[in-house]
């Protein structure tokens, strides 16, 4: 494994912290959406900045690998609910949602009454780490294209 693999995972945790801090400034659904867009831009920038040389595309998918392992663990422990606010058996999903906070900062707001669809929620939570890695990959690919 290349060192970019671990650097991108570190960048993910830094972006998670930044997202949590910026979330404090959001006041409505539109600004929460803007926080999500801002986080995606940060993932692109992290891929761009951390890419120093051409690297195998798999090195960009460390966040995805960790995310899928966490998703499988959470699913096996709580397959019938991801709603940790209303179901105490779904408590482990809190940590997964924290891992993929860019998915929806709204997950951590208690006063919102979003409709809950388990299949949709599971699919979105499964695909979010891939989306994160895809933005990092696009940033690295864009930088490598610049050097050609």
CA distance linking residue 95 with residue 98, whole number of Å: 5
* pTM summary value: 0.85
CA distance linking residue 99 with residue 117, whole number of Å: 20
Task: Give the pLDDT of the chain (148 residues) as one tens digit per residue.
Answer: 568 888 999 999 999 999 888 887 777 778 878 888 899 999 999 999 998 888 788 888 989 999 999 999 999 998 888 878 777 777 788 889 889 888 765 555 544 556 667 888 888 889 999 999 999 999 999 988 876 6
Mark residue 98 as left, alpha or beta (left: phi above 0; alpha: psi -120 to 50; beta: remaining). alpha
Give the number of other CB atoms < 10 A from CB of residue 34.
14
Helix, strand, coil tally for the chain in percent (to 5): 75, 0, 25
Tokens of 140: 């690295």
């Amino acid at each position: 494994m290349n060192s970019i693999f671990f650097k991108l995972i570190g960048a993910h945790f830094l972006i998670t912290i930044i997202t949590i801090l910026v979330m404090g400034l959001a006041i409505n659904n539109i600004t929460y959406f803007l926080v999500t867009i801002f986080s995606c831009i940060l993932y692109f920038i992290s891929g761009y900045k951390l890419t120093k040389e051409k690297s195998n595309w798999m090195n960009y998918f460390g966040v995805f690998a960790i995310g899928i392992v966490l998703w499988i663990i959470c699913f096996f422990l709580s397959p019938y609910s991801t709603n940790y606010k209303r179901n105490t058996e779904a408590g482990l999903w809190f940590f997964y949602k924290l891992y993929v906070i860019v998915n929806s900062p709204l997950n951590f707001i208690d006063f919102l009454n979003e409709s809950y669809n388990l299949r949709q929620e599971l699919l979105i939570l499964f695909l979010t780490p891939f989306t994160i890695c895809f933005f990092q990959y696009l940033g690295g690919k864009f930088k490598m294209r610049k050097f050609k």
